[in-house]
């Protein structure tokens, strides 16, 4: 009897195709040698890590030697391909502490999401993958601390690849923070057309990118296009990411199963299913976030020792429709989070042992104008409940994006009452790419700056870098003079604020 091939071996182990298809691990003793050679350049989309814990993290890569193959499979065939990974304490891999194997399958576009556990807290690790003779770039990541004295993080959002270069990611990679929060709009669904919305100079795209994406192959291709950016790959390789999604991962301004563009809910859920699937396949999130049909579990919680509790929200999947009138808008029943997630957040805040509560979401919490119903202004009762819960826990730091502007604001227990208590601050990061070069100010500035609790407004592209200690938060707002011409613009710190944990307001530095 000949020795079993890899395929028959998998069959002999009795593992179902489904259990292998999840790309997290491999059957014990599985052969690490692919059935046929892996095409060169298989790691063209880079490597990533995410969802860190005190003892580990999720690793990610996706084999795609031809990232822009129109079928969304990145130039990989129908084979299952074993992917080895190594985690080391040093960047030269002299002190390897973990080795493992995950099976990349066509079901997940040859993405793997191995979950590494049993590592030491609060320390740097380096990782790389191997598939056949192909070896990936090296990534750097970090576990969370058991106690925690300092935690650095960058926040970024809204990376419309076609509007400009990702200088923000280049600078985030240079700084290698403890973590990166990505706050939604990782891709955009719109058709990309030269002479229309293709503002990134010196690039061209095929007609297959010129239509609004709808099928899984189109969503996969869109992720591939964005992820070919070397600065985005560098930022992923430099730190573990915490990702939340906003609307453009599916369709502009969708909420729950409602499309803004008249697609009936019973049809739209099919679109949401493939969009959530492609999101999972292309980012370093844990297996818990693998969607089932049209449903994906993305809200989740992490503790940075007793320094900070991180609450990652999903303010898209469960939100009520846009209000039909003012009575509806202010209704006590309205929710942007859904009842279950609200209860989860309030429990998490109530039981939080941490000095800080960092809440990351897709859309702005601070009260701005009543007609901004896409953000929390459309859900004031839910906002009041959140602020009350924040007020009974450690100092709140809300992290959001969405608006393509840098904004810093103080979170008032009651925004209508200037004398009410400040329960924390909100740091709204501008976009990485969306809206192109931008200007320092624009016609919307007054809507924001009319409020005494809004301390900064800037309409150029950039990111925010923050440092948390037991006593204070320091936030630096970084922007770039341009992004459309090339990726070489120099970063500028346009504003810095200090916030005391005991008396949270924004003190300009």
Partner 1 sequence: MTNRPPAITQLRGTGDIGTLTLDWKPVSWATVVDHYAVYVAEPGSTTYTLLGKTVYPHYVHRGLGFTGVTRSYRVVTVDAAGNRSKESAPVAAANKTSVTVSGQPIARVGLYDGKGSELALSPKGYADYPARFPSDVDYTYGTSVPSADWSYLLPGPSDKWAGSKNHTVRFRFDLAAVPEQDLDLALWLIDSHASIPGAALLSVNGTEVGRLAFANGATKGSTIADSTYPGSPLKPSYVEKPLPKALFRTGQNVIELFKDNGSWIAYDAFGVYARR
Neighbours of 446 (CB within 10 A): 10
Q: Mapping DSSP to helix (H, G, I), strand (E, B) and coil, where does residue 338 land?
A: coil
Decide: 362 and 402 in contact? Cβ < 8 Å.
yes
221 binds partner 1 (CB under 8 A): no
292 binds partner 1 (CB under 8 A): yes
277 binds partner 1 (CB under 8 A): yes
Q: Which stretch binds partner 1 (CB under 8 A): 22-30, 271-279, 369-377, 393-401?
A: 271-279
Q: Which stretch binds partner 1 (CB under 8 A): 69-77, 164-172, 184-192, 407-415?
A: 69-77
Q: Which stretch binds partner 1 (CB under 8 A): 44-52, 65-73, 155-163, 474-482?
A: 65-73
Cα 400 versus chain centre, distance: 11
Q: What is the closest distance, in whole angstroms, from the C-beta atom of residue 233 to partner 1 in the complex?
A: 24
Looking at beta carbons, which pairs linking 3-9 to residues 24 or more positions away fall under 8 Å? 5/35, 6/30, 6/31, 6/33, 6/34, 6/35, 6/80, 6/82, 7/35, 7/80
Give whichever of 20 and 298 is closer to partner 1, judged by the CB atom: 20
71 binds partner 1 (CB under 8 A): yes
270 binds partner 1 (CB under 8 A): yes
289 binds partner 1 (CB under 8 A): no
273 binds partner 1 (CB under 8 A): yes
Q: What is the closest distance, in whole angstroms, from the C-beta atom of residue 224 to partner 1 in the complex?
A: 14
Among residues 27, 23, 24, the alpha carbon closest in space to that of 8 is found at 27
214 binds partner 1 (CB under 8 A): yes
Binding test (CB under 8 A) with partner 1, winner from 30, 59, 243, 274? 274
Q: What is the closest distance, in whole angstroms, from the C-beta atom of residue 277 to partner 1 in the complex?
A: 6
Give whichever of 11 and 500 is closer to partner 1, judged by the CB atom: 11
Neighbours of 328 (CB within 10 A): 15
Neighbours of 12 (CB within 10 A): 10
Total H helices, total E strands in the chain:
10, 24
267 binds partner 1 (CB under 8 A): yes
Cα–Cα distance, 30 to 48 (Å, whole number): 24
Rounded to the nearest 10°, the torsion over CA 458, 460, 463, 464 is -20
483 Rama class: left (phi>0) / alpha (psi -120 to 50) / beta: alpha
Rounded to the nearest 10°, the torsion over CA 300, 303, 308, 314 is 0
The site map against partner 1 for 103-132 (x = CB under 8 A) is --xxxxx-----------------------
211 binds partner 1 (CB under 8 A): no
Cα–Cα distance, 488 to 482 (Å, whole number): 9
17 binds partner 1 (CB under 8 A): yes
Q: Do the strands 356-360 and 395-400 form a parallel or antiparallel pair, or are they unpaired?
A: parallel
Cα within 13 Å of Cα(495), Cβ side: 23
222 binds partner 1 (CB under 8 A): no
Binding test (CB under 8 A) with partner 1, winner from 172, 173, 216, 307? 216
Give whichever of 371 and 414 is closer to partner 1, judged by the CB atom: 371
The site map against partner 1 for 22-51 (x = CB under 8 A) is ------------------------------
Site for partner 1, rule CB under 8 A: 7, 17, 71-73, 78, 105-109, 214-217, 262-263, 267, 270-271, 273-274, 277, 292-294
């Amino acid at each position: 009897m000949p020795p079993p091939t890899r395929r028959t071996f998998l069959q002999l182990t009795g593992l179902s195709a489904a259990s292998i298809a999840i790309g997290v691990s491999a059957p014990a003793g599985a052969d690490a040698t692919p059935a046929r050679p892996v095409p060169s350049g298989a790691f063209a989309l880079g490597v990533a890590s995410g969802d860190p814990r005190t003892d580990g993290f999720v690793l990610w890569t996706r084999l795609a030697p031809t990232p822009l193959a129109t079928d969304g499979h990145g130039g990989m065939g129908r084979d299952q391909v074993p992917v080895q990974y190594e985690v080391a304490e040093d960047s030269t891999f002299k002190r390897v502490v973990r080795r493992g194997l995950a099976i990349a399958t066509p079901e997940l576009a040859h993405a793997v999401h191995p979950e590494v556990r049993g590592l030491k807290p609060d320390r740097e690790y380096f990782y790389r993958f191997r598939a056949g003779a192909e070896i990936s770039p090296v990534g750097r990541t970090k576990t969370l601390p058991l106690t925690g004295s300092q935690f650095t993080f960058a926040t970024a959002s809204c990376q419309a690849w076609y509007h400009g270069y990702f200088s923000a990611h280049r600078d985030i990679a240079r700084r290698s923070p403890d973590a990166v929060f990505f706050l939604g709009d990782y891709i955009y669904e719109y058709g990309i057309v030269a002479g229309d919305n293709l503002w990134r100079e010196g690039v061209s795209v095929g007609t297959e990118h010129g239509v609004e994406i709808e099928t899984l192959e189109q969503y996969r291709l869109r992720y591939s296009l964005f992820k070919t950016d070397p600065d985005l790959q560098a930022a992923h390789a430099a730190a573990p990411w915490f990702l939340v999604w906003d609307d453009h991962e599916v369709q502009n301004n969708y909420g729950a199963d409602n499309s803004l563009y008249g697609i009936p809910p019973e049809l739209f859920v099919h679109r949401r299913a493939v969009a959530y699937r492609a999101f999972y396949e292309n980012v370093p999130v844990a297996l818990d976030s693998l969607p089932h049909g049209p449903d994906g579990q993305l809200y989740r919680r992490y503790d940075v020792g007793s320094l900070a509790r991180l609450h990652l929200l999903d303010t898209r999947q469960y939100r009520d429709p846009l209000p039909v009138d003012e009575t509806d808008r202010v209704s006590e029943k309205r929710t942007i989070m859904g009842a279950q997630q609200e209860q989860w957040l309030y429990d998490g805040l109530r039981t939080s042992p941490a000095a800080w509560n960092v809440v990351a979401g897709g859309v702005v919490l601070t009260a701005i104008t009543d007609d901004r119903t896409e953000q929390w202004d459309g859900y004031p009762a839910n906002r009041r409940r959140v602020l009350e819960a924040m007020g009974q826990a450690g100092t709140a730091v809300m992290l959001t994006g969405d608006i393509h502007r840098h904004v810093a604001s103080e979170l008032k227990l009651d925004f209508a009452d200037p004398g009410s208590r400040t329960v924390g601050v909100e740091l709204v990061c501008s976009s990485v790419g969306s809206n192109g070069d931008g200007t320092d100010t624009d016609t919307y500035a007054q809507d924001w700056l009319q409020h005494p609790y809004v301390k900064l407004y800037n309409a150029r592209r950039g990111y925010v870098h923050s440092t948390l200690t037991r006593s204070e938060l320091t936030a630096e707002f970084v922007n770039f003079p341009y992004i459309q011409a090339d990726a070489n613009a120099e970063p500028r710190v346009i504003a810095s604020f200090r916030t005391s944990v005991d008396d949270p307001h924004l003190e300009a530095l």
